Amino acid sequence: MIATQYKILLPSDYDMNIIKERVRNNGYKTDGFDELKFKLYLVTEKGVNHNLQNSYCPLYLWKDSNGLNKFLFNGFYDNILNSFGWQQVNIGIPLIDTTTSKITENKYVFQITRKIQPQESLNNFKDKIEESIQTFDDAEYIVIYNPEKWEYEVCYFLNDLSNVKEMSGVTYSILHISQEVLPE
């Protein structure tokens, strides 16, 4: 699997209803997209949930590179290019994924970023991450790492933010979730 996210920073006075309307009118277009496990249409709004800025930051989890390649190179990503210009697409590799179809029941993503410090061995590092991250009852999460930056992110999928009040990270509101179409 491959995770991707682009973080489009918007001006402080940007009318976030423009993004909300955009997602309301177009979010369904990635429902059932080839090789997409899920896409979360995420935003931050200045002054909401302690966020300091407005942003639009979709997060994708791809089953393999075929779906990502189709999205980027067959015209679908052109909508972002035409609306927001050239964006850096951050790539990560899922290390731990506890998500299920229940992901669609959530209102927020709380994302924390941590460095992977130089060390003599990465043997059992996944276990060390699992032991070190905070988990919450009924909260699904995904851990995504990037060996180019030697960082990992934990994305918690939540309805209640009270458990993360004391943690430092970014709280995104979920506007829409596209996911794979599961066989009946």
The mean pLDDT of the chain is 93
Task: Provide the strand spans (E) within 72-183.
Answer: 90-97, 108-115, 140-146, 151-158, 170-179
pLDDT of the residue at 134: 86
What are the tens digits of pLDDT across the range 34-74? 999 999 999 999 999 999 999 999 999 999 999 999 999 99
Could you tell me the residue ranges of all domains in the chain? 2-179
Q: Is the pLDDT of residue 184 over 80?
A: no
d(CA 92, CA 85): 22
Do residues 50 and 38 make contact, with C-beta atoms less than 8 angstroms apart?
A: no
Kindly report the pTM of this predicted structure.
0.92
Of 91, 56, 97, the closest CA to residue 71 belongs to 91
Query: Which CATH number is associated with domain 2-179?
Result: 3.30.70.100
Phi and psi (nearest 5°) for 164?
Answer: -105, 5
d(CA 116, CA 129): 10
Q: Is the pLDDT of residue 182 over 70?
A: no
What are the tens digits of pLDDT across the range 83-127? 999 999 999 999 999 998 889 999 999 999 999 999 999 999 999
